[in-house]
Structure 1
Amino acid sequence: MASLSEQLTAAEISRLAGVTRATVSNWRRRHPDFPQPRGGTEASPSYDRREVEAWLAARGRLPARSARDDLRTHLRGRTQRDVEAVALFTAHVAGLDEGERKKIAKLDDAAFAHAVPQAHRDVPAELLRSAVNVVLEEGPFAVFDVLDDLAEAPVAIRGTHPTPPVVAGLVAGLATAGGRRVRSVLDPACGGGRLLAAAAAALEPGARVHGQEYRPVTAAQARTRVTVEAPKASVDVRTGDSLRDDAFPDLRVDAVVCNPPYGDRDWGHDELALDTRWAYGVPPRSEPELAWVQHSLAHLSDGGHAVLLLPPATASRSSGRRIRAELLRQGALCAAIALPAGLAVPHHIGLHLWILRRPDDDRPGRDLVLLVDAADQDEDTLQEKVRGIWEAFSGSPDFDAVPGVARAVPAIDLLDDLVDLSPARHVRSAPLIDPGAALQDVTELTERLQAQLGTFADAVDIGPWTSAGETSRTWRSATVADLARGGALTVHRGVRASSADALPGDLADRPVLRARDLVGGKRASGDVREAQPAGTVTIEEGDVLLTQFVGPQGAASRVADEGDAGCLLGQGVLLLRPDPGRLDPWFLAGFVSAPDNVSQATTGTSTHHLVASRLRVPLLPLEEQTAYGQAFRKIQALKRIAENTATCANELADLITTTLSTGALLPPEH
């Protein structure tokens, strides 16, 4: 029997051959000479690598063997300790120049064993050497891509998610703004290191960068990222649970940045009840975010700042009222900033940024708190806008409010029964409106609504409909997985790359269709450099697009048209590409996005994920599919026009209400 390192699963065969798993399943069913399973289980068999490679080579389907393939082979059947050793060794190699990396790769096993750090010398040299070869061929992040593929636990556990570049840049900019000299930074929940690396890159050479992450492989990835993106920084990333087992108990830094795990009720409430970090009150079990706030403040030097990304409920939950009040009384809370929805997980809500400061005796905290409602700001200008407001507030005792966006509120005014720090509650004020301009805007919007109502009336005429009879029609159906195995469609899933490898030149400037674009009914607006799609799947006209995350309104969907064609598939988007000779795209889109179908194919509790393979599609002749498809197409047009009409009507109602309540317009005479 072949050893585990010499066996391949169906998923690994698909990666090796550069095909989908459905294609591998087809090979198994249609080719009697396809290698027989040599291990695994009936549900997930494994195959002898040499037999599979020989079978692929005989058909011209075996690509050149890559360093990644070798690393995957060497990792098969290894212990978690060996996997962690690969991650730590990769972090070590990332700090070497290319010449040193090549030199290590060429050493024989005996010399190699003496060249690696003492902690890794009991790990097989061939395993570590394969990691070095991947680093030389594709860079250090490619090693972590392989480790992620083999990981059993999902990334998004305990509410942890990578920090998107736009948010990481904003947090780093706020933590280092205002002309303060920042020579040290800490991220106590650093994950893969994106936020920590962004902060490190904003500091001067020689700055001390500290991080802690409870997953050893992810901690090594964070150290690697900081080493690559801020090579002149002094990096120290340690493993462990920051709240229960602080790896830096005596550390004081100039700045703390943090995107803590949210909604984690098992954060250590009972065992940490008497912890000295709770200077502003013992956090309730339901308020883990306020534990991270106080942990961050405890690590600041006098006058240092912390910037945390928090769920909006932290600003208003009644259970956290006393701690919020104490933060205000002691001058620790400097600002609360509401961000647009969709910037980071969970995408359906707008997160908040809190800026905190550890007051010192010489410079007590200000009695003003900056509240910024940036929920309506454009992503492209968000960082510049918010940072400009923060610098204006922190750099001058007199801050001019930005109507409807930002104002400085005395802390005592926030100390009411609710202690609600939600920015929108405090910054929305009546604007100054020119009466003549108001009348013109109302007139133009009214005319636009009237025209939209005419379009809506035409769209409603989509019948006539006929009854199916005494009972509803039934039909045989197949899952998307079955259809994919039969070649009727292919399935692609948009994911974000863990490394920022450059795309081919002809794709480098393509827009990326993200989940938020699909939800908003917009064209692709993602930038390749920020969205970092993991693959090079380009959308084609007739593709069926679905959001992978299911919101309160279900899964957003549409059939790609010429405006979508050529865009790259982004994170959180599922793509079903039907064979037009067997499946009508609008027929497919209508059934896979139907509420009942989506409901039975959804998993998860707090975050709902759509499992495309479970969606069911009726098995009907193409002629009948076309009839259903035309109906679904008209229904989709009706929904789009109805949404536009409702939006226009709401805009008009809000505008008239505002202009009447501010005195810019007078009511009609009766």
Structure 2
Amino acid sequence: MPQTSAQVTAAEISRIAGVTRATVSNWRRRHEDFPAPSGGRESSPLYDLEAVRAWLASRGQASAASPSDELRTTLRLHTWESGGGTSDLLLLALGAARHPAEDLTAAVRLPDMDLVAHAERDAAAVSGAVPGGDTVHFGAIDAAVLRALYVCVRDEGAQAAVSVLATRELEDSAVTGAYRTPEPLADLLARLIPGTPARVLDPACGSGSLLTAAGRRGARELYGQDVLTVQARRAAVTLMLTTPEAEVTVRAGDTLRADAFPGLLVDAVLCNPPFGNRDWGHDELAYDPRWAYGVPARADSELAWVQHALAHLTPGGYAAVILPPAIAGRASGRRVRAELVRSSALRAVIALPAGASVPLHIGLQIWILQRPEPGGAERKSLLFVDTAEASVSGTGAGSTSATVSARTRSASRSASVDWTAISERALRAWQAFLADPDAFEGEPGIARAVGVVDLLDDLVDLTPARLVQASRGAIDPAELAEETEAARRDLVEAARALGEAAGYEDWRAAGPAAREWRTATASDLARGGALTLLRTLPEGARGRGGDGDRGGEGSDGAELAGQPVLTASDLSAGSGPTGDAADLRTESAPVIEAGDVLVRAVASGSGPAARVAGEEEAGALLGRHVHLFRPDPARLDAWFLAGFLGAEENLASASTGSTIRHVSPGRLRVPLLPLEEQRRYGEAFRRVYELRAEAQRATRLAEETARLLSGGLTGGQLLPSRDAGPEAAARVRGGDSPH
């Protein structure tokens, strides 16, 4: 039953007020009238929600929570009897998405009993398409939850509501190991499948990311299965929202033990299966006909998933499966790997950099498989691609420096993943190999075709990093020497520019205490006309209303082709637009103008989070993971705005999520200062940005130069100077030779 008194934690208060946890702690200490704890423990007290809201209102602190935040908080505050649950509300999100915004507003205003009946009708209209949908009822669910859900669907779209609901259900079920495949990785897997497959299966579909990517590329029959009912429901709802023209069939159940689609043959299989599961049914499935390439060992559940994927393919059909790197060389899987290689069922192995997907500390692999066709052509080689260094910003995909970087890789996990470079490298090699495997020349240190006979040794080790090393000698020494000298000259120039940027000294203390000021949220400033919020939304999504946040202004679908796109990676790297308009998948996107403030939509990550667009960015399209703030220059200085919007504390207080923290742009706060004072701050922020940009450039060039030199020396292309002994080093330092 609903709680008689809703209670919230300090963290939830910070989200409601749009401030940090530290600010809430200060309020508790400094204001005697702050509501006293009404429950919880001394270390984690709970507060009465209505009392907190009344206190905030008395101080003029309007709620900064977005509709999805309000839905998340409302779910936290209300419980209900068994027979109804969060996963049931997924149906309501799908049903509500069929209505226009005015109908949703009318539903929110209904009395409680009428609202419950209305919600049950909306859910019943789509119940047949979702696993377990015929058992849904909302009689025990508090009407406040239903209202919050309708508002979230109306203002942020059904996908935002689905994400909140599924996350809440997973928390309630104490499930671990359920992670969403990153969208760029899902897109890469879908693009690795040749042609346009009509029927696609994901036997471990999770939230439906891979099937959604397949639907975007034209698949018209989508089949999915997941062991978690809430994930199966979420996938079904997501697919029906994002690919309404496709036929969607999703089932709940243990795929390996109880295949929901026996006998189904599809054109393609995409899969990101669970890793390291020893309880996958090894004993009971020992004689399963799917194991055409050998019975997987108990420790090799991944090879069971590989063979399950092959069993569901039509002859000649392709599968792309994400696997941990250990499966490529583990001794227990040698016989199965050997048979996959010998039969030509395995066509390619692509290594990804660490951080591409969970688990973030290891570099995963993509195995591309093809079910052999009876009487098909003999295949003599496999493709191996190593993209581990494609995530290093500023490295050209086809340059010699990229080649050497791939051979002298860094194990740093902090480098941001450059999906554009990774996808370009993987697709370029795979498509060239597909076109003519026998004539494929590869790229030194990046891609190599290895003969089947050469792989069938005692280990059958299919690790790309090991196999592409053999191509290192193909780099031309003269070309590498020229590349190294150019990089060294660039580094010297970058060091000079960094010194100039660091030479500014006009900073002074604010006084005995830090300065304080009144602030306003970006939503408030947008409503007052001081700025406009823009973003690029996926095709068919709705933007939030009421806070100036709009999507897709500035270009239509016919104009997108060929235009550059500024991505979140470009912001982090300080580079110009490098994205491809074809990846936006939207009918329209905002066009960036000089003076716009650009902010990353994900709070985590290295590099600057915000900057002011210049002439280089003007005319480019806005990437999907970037927020655009267009200030009125008569009221807001652009660099002043960028400096405060990109502040770490500001981003933290306006973010939601744990592993990936998404920034709610309307909740970001800006000090209310006179324009002349804004300009002084703006000039200071511009200098800080230049300092960071020059430091990034110098660091990048230093790393590149060091890689070129080290790789050239160890690879035999470069020779050390004849004067490279200790005496020469001492002369350079201006001292004596050490003894």
TM-score if structure 1 supplies the norm length? 0.67
AA aligned opposite 1:411: V
Residue 403 of structure 1 contacts residue 431 of structure 1 at CA under 8 Å; is this kept in 2? Answer: no
Which residue does 1:116 correspond to in 2? 123
AA aligned opposite 1:60: G
- Partner of 2:471, secondary structure, is coil
AA aligned opposite 1:73: T
Which residue does 1:136 correspond to in 2? 154
Which residue does 1:421 correspond to in 2? 462
Provide the rounded CA distance (Å) in 2 between the counterparts of 1:138 and 1:449. Answer: 46
Shift of 1:564: 14
Deviations for 1:97-153, whole angstroms, at most 9, x for unmatched residues? 668767866665445544531532354473445423321122112223433664574
Residue 354 of structure 2 contacts residue 362 of structure 2 at CA under 8 Å; is this kept in 1? Answer: yes
- Partner of 1:314, secondary structure, is helix
Which residue does 2:504 correspond to in 1? none
Which residue does 1:229 correspond to in 2? 242
- Partner of 1:323, secondary structure, is helix
Residue 539 of structure 1 contacts residue 567 of structure 1 at CA under 8 Å; is this kept in 2? Answer: no
Provide the rounded CA distance (Å) in 2 between the counterparts of 1:524 and 1:11. Answer: 37
Which residue does 1:617 correspond to in 2? none
1:200 aligns with 2:203: no
Provide the rounded CA distance (Å) in 1 between the counterparts of 2:118 and 2:461. Answer: 63
Q: How many residues align?
A: 542
AA aligned opposite 1:116: A
- Partner of 2:372, secondary structure, is coil
Q: 2:712 aligns with which of 644, 655, 668?
A: 655
Deviations for 1:196-238, whole angstroms, at most 9, x for unmatched residues? 211111125xx11112233333333322332232221111222
AA aligned opposite 1:233: A
Which residue does 1:612 correspond to in 2? none
Residue 91 of structure 1 contacts residue 220 of structure 1 at CA under 8 Å; is this kept in 2? Answer: no
1:82 aligns with 2:95: no
Deviations for 1:57-110, whole angstroms, at most 9, x for unmatched residues? 222224388755367436622357411111233244446666876786666544
- What runs of 5+ residues in structure 2 fail to find an aligned partner? 125-133, 391-396, 398-418, 497-516, 518-535, 553-564, 586-598, 612-638, 652-658, 660-693, 724-739
1:162 aligns with 2:163: no
Identify which range, 230-239 or 647-656, moves more after superposition.
647-656
Shift of 1:305: 1.0
- Partner of 2:218, secondary structure, is coil
Shift of 1:326: 1.3
Residue 71 of structure 1 contacts residue 131 of structure 1 at CA under 8 Å; is this kept in 2? Answer: no
CA 1:197–1:447: 2 relative to 1, 3 Å:
closer
Q: 1:190 aligns with which of 202, 205, 208?
A: 205
Shift of 1:327: 1.0
Deviations for 1:410-444, whole angstroms, at most 9, x for unmatched residues? 32221111101122333342555656545655667
Residue 284 of structure 1 contacts residue 320 of structure 1 at CA under 8 Å; is this kept in 2? Answer: yes
CA 1:498–1:412: 2 relative to 1, 3 Å:
farther
AA aligned opposite 1:165: E
Provide the rounded CA distance (Å) in 2 between the counterparts of 1:327 and 1:38. Answer: 63
CA 1:260–1:45: 2 relative to 1, 3 Å:
same
Residue 332 of structure 1 contacts residue 358 of structure 1 at CA under 8 Å; is this kept in 2? Answer: yes
Q: 1:383 aligns with which of 399, 416, 423?
A: 423
AA aligned opposite 1:389: A
Q: 2:337 aligns with which of 301, 324, 335?
A: 324
1:217 aligns with 2:230: yes
Identify which range, 105-114 or 208-217, moves more after superposition.
105-114
Provide the rounded CA distance (Å) in 1 between the counterparts of 2:640 and 2:15. Answer: 31
- Partner of 2:453, secondary structure, is helix
Residue 199 of structure 2 contacts residue 221 of structure 2 at CA under 8 Å; is this kept in 1? Answer: yes
Which residue does 2:74 correspond to in 1? 73
Residue 339 of structure 1 contacts residue 373 of structure 1 at CA under 8 Å; is this kept in 2? Answer: yes
Provide the rounded CA distance (Å) in 1 between the counterparts of 2:362 and 2:293. Answer: 27
CA 1:441–1:152: 2 relative to 1, 3 Å:
closer
Write out aligned runs for 1:180-579 (5 A): 182-204=197-219, 207-363=220-376, 366-377=379-390, 378=397, 379-396=419-436, 398-404=438-444, 405-427=446-468, 428-432=470-474, 437=479, 440=482, 512=568, 533-534=601-602, 566=643, 575=648
**Root mean square deviation of aligned Cα:** 5.0
Deviations for 1:527-581, whole angstroms, at most 9, x for unmatched residues? 897997356998589xxxxxxxxxxxxxxxxxxxx99975987xxxx94689xxx
Provide the rounded CA distance (Å) in 2 between the counterparts of 1:33 and 1:168. Answer: 51
Provide the rounded CA distance (Å) in 2 between the counterparts of 1:142 and 1:17. Answer: 20
Which residue does 1:10 correspond to in 2? 10
Determine what percentage of the aligned residue pairs are the same residue: 40
Shift of 1:523: 8.1
Write out aligned runs for 1:88-127 (5 A): 88-94=91-97, 108-110=115-117, 112-117=119-124, 118-124=134-140, 126=143, 127=145
- Partner of 1:116, secondary structure, is helix
TM-score if structure 2 supplies the norm length? 0.61
AA aligned opposite 1:344: S
CA 1:171–1:539: 2 relative to 1, 3 Å:
closer
- Partner of 2:439, secondary structure, is coil
Deviations for 1:490-511, whole angstroms, at most 9, x for unmatched residues? xxxxxxx999987977999986
- Partner of 1:87, secondary structure, is helix
Provide the rounded CA distance (Å) in 2 between the counterparts of 1:324 and 1:330. Answer: 10
Shift of 1:650: 5.1
